[in-house]
């Protein structure tokens, strides 16, 4: 049983990238560049917060093209919304997140 790619994937990825950029733009604060992006996050990556302790992970933007990661983002939007100062918080346990990301690499 394979995963069928949707023709909407490029459009969804573009929308998800906009969401990530908006959530990462926290303003000009200590640790952020002139565009409001965290200086410790390499280009092509973004920060997410996972688990009960809100552990911070830096993940590549390429994860946005994976349906499994998109599902996590949809759940995050439903549970937490995307309009807050902290980065994207994903509603899953750390062990599940680490397992998923190890499969996506």
Sequence-separated (6 or more) residues with CB below 8 Å from residue 37 = 24, 25
Residue 81 Cα to chain centre, angstroms:
13
Number of domains into which the chain is organized: 1
Domain of residue 43, residue span: 9-104
- Tens of pLDDT, residue by residue over 49-62, are 999 999 999 999 99
The answer, yes or no, to whether residue 33 has pLDDT greater than 50, is yes
The Cα 82–Cα 43 span in angstroms is 21
The answer, yes or no, to whether residue 4 has pLDDT greater than 60, is no
Q: How far apart are the first and last CA of the chain?
A: 20
**Would you say residue 3 lies in a domain?**
no
Find, among 74, 76, 104, 70, the residue nearest to 90 by Cα: 76
**Would you say residue 85 lies in a domain?**
yes
**Would you say residue 92 lies in a domain?**
yes
The Cα 70–Cα 64 span in angstroms is 6
Res 35: pLDDT: 64
**Would you say residue 4 lies in a domain?**
no
**Would you say residue 25 lies in a domain?**
yes
Which H helix or E strand runs over 37? none
**Would you say residue 1 lies in a domain?**
no
């Amino acid at each position: 049983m394979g995963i069928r790619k949707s023709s909407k994937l490029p459009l969804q990825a573009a929308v998800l990238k906009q969401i990530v950029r908006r959530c990462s733009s926290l303003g000009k604060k200590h640790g952020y560049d002139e565009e409001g992006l965290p200086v410790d996050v390499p280009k092509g990556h973004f920060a997410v917060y996972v688990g009960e302790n809100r552990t911070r992970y830096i993940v590549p933007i390429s994860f946005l093209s994976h349906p499994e990661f998109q599902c996590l983002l949809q759940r995050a939007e439903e549970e937490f919304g995307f309009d807050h100062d902290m980065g994207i918080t994903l509603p899953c346990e750390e062990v599940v997140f680490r397992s998923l990301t190890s499969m996506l690499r």
